[in-house]
Chains A and B, each alone.
Chain A
Amino acid sequence: MPLLMVENLKAGYGKLQILHGVSLNINKGEILSVIGPNGSGKSTLLKSIFGLTTIFDGKISFKGEDITRKKPHEKARMGIAYLPQTDNLFTKLKVKENMLLAGYTLSESEYQERLKEALEFLPQVKEFWERKVWTLSGGERQMVSIAMAVLRKPELYMLDEPTAALAPKIARTILEKIVQLRDTFGAAIILVEQNAKAALKISDNTLLLVAGKSVFQGSSSELLQNKELAQMYLGVK
């Protein structure tokens, strides 16, 4: 049984429908890349899985349990972590308070332990520990938000463009770390990325989303072989 199963999901904002029947499966220890043009509904897909949009139809199950109508905070407690593309930090709070909130559902001892792991993973975060987030640069903020997701050590990560705004070198490290999350902890990861080539390289499967519909779904190597799609959406010649 897949860890997360999304069946024929139709969702949007208020009365406006964005997703027109999207389905996906992801297993433990897998990375699924979601790629597609701007505005195709990638972020909306993640938000909908987390329960932050209006769901018109479809079913979402996690570990065999139907979670379609569950509230976001309940999903968070079940072991799903979501890193939003924008507004992913509390800007008026200190970095350390943001990290504390990332561990909101954990006990004190668990929190300390995970915090250590997360800071080993991204040691830079320690440098701005006492600062308010609004004083950080874009890249610094992105690192904090990734550290927050890492701290939570969930069974399923949903990362919306985690490498945006980062210098290429750090971006590469982050992608390596994502692979590491899968390989060492056996986590499942849904990864939305603008840099499709880099994403395909590390992912097991890929979902190509165009105008709220899934255009391709399958192993990443298959997509690379599909000349037409690769040309249209990946810029492969």
Chain B
Amino acid sequence: MLKIIVGIKWVPDTADVKFDPVKGTIIREGVESIINPPDLNAIELALALKEKYGGEVYVISMSPPSAIKGLKMAVAMGVDKAFLVSDRKFAAADTLATSYTLSCAIKKIGSYDLVIFGEETIDSATGHIGPEVGEMLGIPHLSYVTEVQEVDLQQRTIKMVREVEDGVEFFQANLPVVISVGVGINTPRYPIPLRRLLTELETNKYIETWALNDIGADPEKVGFKGSPTRVVKVIAAPMPARRLEIREASGETVKLFIKRLKEAEII
């Protein structure tokens, strides 16, 4: 029996995000939100491990209630239970405060063998949450994991593979551990229509909402108050201007291309 907790973030689909060029702010209105892509790979990995070793998969998300949509989707994919960790006091958290809040919620869930996060989000993309939560739970953490080779439930050990710049590393660790995984390590399954229906009909059975008091968090350490970093300003970063000379393929086009490369002193 493996008990696995997956952290997911409900994020604006950055491909759609627009920026206000005057105010330099992000326009979130009208932008679809999605489960952060690698978090789907994290869910898939968790469900595959459950199928192999038996057990339970829980997802948690610290978020405003709008993330319920994402949690329902996770349940429809086959997750046993989802926890929405939500409180006004959690607002404007940086990664330290987010990780603290998530680690309180994970402790509240109680026993677990494996905690899985995405490698990084498509919005603020720090990749901090996995390592920070590991530290706060006092257990080892490994990022960039591409495969869980084996879990030994008797010895309570896990074998993992991960990719770094210059090669592939194989690690063995005692359970529990925290790992982070990237997009492309597997193909996330689709939500099951019947489960989707069940989640709609019996939302309360599958999704629990926890506020600050429920997870026993220190109010000084959450949200804006608990965040040592401050975002002073955000400005739009225009893409470098390009010549945009686009041509249909032909002998002439290729000649022109080579001419341009010469002008740019590339050849």
- Same assembly: no
Which B residues form the contact surface with A (CB < 8 A)? Answer: none
A residues in contact (CB < 8 Å) with B: none
